[in-house]
Structure 1
Amino acid sequence: MRSKTPVTTENIRRMPKVLLHDHLDGGLRPGTVIELADAIGYKALPSGDSAALRRWFTDAADAGSLVSYLETFAHTCGVLQSEDALVRVAAEAVEDLAEDGIVHAEVRYAPELFREGGLSLEGVIEAVSAGFADGERRAARQGRRIRVRSVLCAMRQHESAREIAALVVRYRDAGVAGFDIAGPEAGYPPSRFLESFQFLGANNAHFTIHAGEAAGVDSIAEAIHVCGAKRIGHGVRLADDIAVTGDRVHLGRLAEHVRAAGIPLELCPSSNVQTGAAPSIAAHPFGLLAREGFRVTVNTDNRLMSGCTLTSEFAALSEAFGYTLDDLRRFTLNAAESAFLDPDERRELLGLLSE
C-alpha cells in the first residue's frame, strides 16, 4: 500500500536520506566564506554581505556551461587554505547535512586544491576527516545521527591522479571511502587516468567517475567499459542513448547495459540545469531514467552554488514528476545500496532507513 503521507518540504526533511555526490568546496555557508576571507585578508569576494554573496554564487553558477560554473570555486577554494579553515568547513557541512535529515553522506573534495598555505596532501585529508568527526559529534549532541565519509578527487586537468589514488588506499580505514576525477570533463577523458583506476581496482578500492555531464555518451561508456566504474557521477547524458517515440522507449546498447548492470547514476538535478546538461527540472532526464528502471540517486552536487539541499532537490523532483514519499524512499534505498560501504555498514544503514 502506497503511503498517503503528503509530500511536503517538512516531511521530506524529516525522512532519513542518503547523499552520494556533494562537494565540500561547493557547500560552504556564505557567512563562513566571509569570515574566513576577513581572517586571511582575501579581498576578491564579490560581496561582504551574506545574503548578497549567496545570491551571487547561485547567479554566477547559473551560467549554462560546466566551465563557467566551475569558475565560482575560486572564492571557496581561496579561503580554504589552512587546517583550521578545512576543519571548520567540514564540521559545518556535517551539521548542515544532518539538519537536512541526511544519515549517510559521501562528501568529495580535491586535496590538491587546498595546498597554497603549505599543507601537504596528507594534512588536507587529516584536517577534513577531523572536521567530519567533529561535525558528527556536534550532530549527535543535537540528537541527529549521521555518518560522513570522504571521496578524494583528482583534478582532470592536472597530473596528480596516481598520487591521490594511493592516498585513497592509505586512508580508506580512516574515513576515506573512495576516489573520483573532477573538473572540466570535455577534453579530459576517463581513460587518461586508466593507470589510477587499475591501481584502485587491484587494491579493492572504490571509485566513481564524473561522466556524462559536460561530455556525452562516449564519456560514460569509457568510464564503465575502459576504466571499470561501478558508479557514475551525474550520467545525465545517458539519455542521449534513449529514444522516445510517443509511448515507445528504445534503449541503446550502453543504456541497456547500464540498466541491466544496475550501475548507479549520481544525478544532480539543479546543478545539471545550471551547467546546461538539462533544460529544466521538469525536462530533466531523471523522470525518464527513473520510469525505465535505472538505478537513479538524488544528489546536491554543490549546495552553495545551486542554492539547494537534498530536501529541496527531492521536493523539486516531486513537483515535476508527481513522486510520492514512497518514490523518494525508493531513490534513497538506491543510494544506500550504492554507497561505498562494507556489508555490515550497509546493513546498518538499511536498517536505519527502515525504522
Structure 2
Amino acid sequence: MTAHRKDDHVRLAHAQYAPASEPSRPDETQWPNQFDEVRFVHHALTGTDREKVSLTTRFAGVHWPVPLYINAMTGGSPRTGEINRDLAIAARETGLPIATGSMSPYLKDPGTASTFSVVRREHPDGFVLANLNAGATPEQARRAVGLLDADALQIHLNTVQETVMPEGDRAFSHWAPGIARIAAAVDVPVIVKEVGFGLSGRTVRELRSLGVHAADVAGSGGTNFARIENDRRDRPDYAYLEGWGLSTPAALLDARDCGLPLLASGGVRHPLDIVRALALGAHAVGASGPFLTTLLDGGVDALVRHITTWLDHLTALMTLLGAHTPDALAHCDVLLTGSLRAFCLDRGLMTTAAKGVTA
C-alpha cells in the first residue's frame, strides 16, 4: 500500500506541472504565485563583475557550494528508487545538495532501503539530507541518518496533507516534543520543513526553542499536496483546502527575524524566483516539481542541463544586482506589491530600508 501511494504521489505531482489540455474545473482553487509580487528596484550602476560572484552559501554550520538544492520528493517503491537514482546523478553532476523523500517506508519495511540509499551511492561525496516525519522516534532518526551517511536530517511537517490523506495521521500534538528529542539525539544538523503550506514566524520561533538548526519555509505555489491527497480520495471532498497556507515569500517575510537560518522552497519556477527568495532572507533555495518534471519528461541529461542553466542564470542575475554572494542579495532594494504587500501590512511586518524591502 505504501509503495502504491508513493507512485501515486509522483504521478499526481507530475500531472500538476503538465500543460493544461483542457480548462480547469470551475470549482478548482488556483494558487497564485506571490513571487511575482516581489520586484527589484533597478539601479543601472549597481552591476559587478561576474568573476567576483561566488555562489557559496553557509548557514547553521553547513557549507554548500551553491544556494540551490534538490528538495525531498520520493522513495519507497522500485519506480521511485529509480527516480532517486537519477536525481542523485544529476545532483552529483551539478554539485547540488539533495534530500530524499520521506524514509518512513524504510522504517516500516527495510526491504525498501535501496530506494533511498541509492542517493548516497550515486552522490558519494555530496551533501545528502535524510527525511522523516515529525512522529519518528530518535532511534528511527538515527537509523535514517545512518542508512544514508546523511549530512543533515530533514523533518517534514505536513498536517494539511495528513488531514486530507485517506490513510493519514490524525494526532499531531506529540510532534513538537518529538522534534526536540530527535534534535538532541542525532549528530547532524536538523532542518524542519513544511511540504507546501508554509512555516509562519510563530512556528519558526517554536522550532528554535526545540533545538532545530534551520527551517525550510516551503510555502504554497508549487506542488499542492492537498490536491494530490484529495485526488486519491473516493470522494474529492476536501477541494476547499487546496488554497490553504502561506506562500513562500509570505513565510520568509513572516519568519525573517525569528532567530533561525531560513531556507526556501515551494513555487520556485526559475532563477529569478531563487534570487527573490534569497533577497527575502533565505540562505538557499530548494526545488522539487520543476526538476521532477524535467527528469520524467527528458531524462537525466535534460535535468543536468536544466540545473546547469539555472546556476548560470543565477550567477548572471547576481552580477546584474551587484551581489557578490547569496547573502548580499538581502541588501538589494525590493518592492512588495499586491496581496503580498497586503499580507505584510495585515501582519504588522515592519520593512526597513536597511534590509532593502519596502511594502
Structure with the higher helix share, 1 or 2: 1
Give me the TM-score of the superposition, normalised by structure 1.
Answer: 0.47
Give me the TM-score of the superposition, normalised by structure 2.
Answer: 0.47
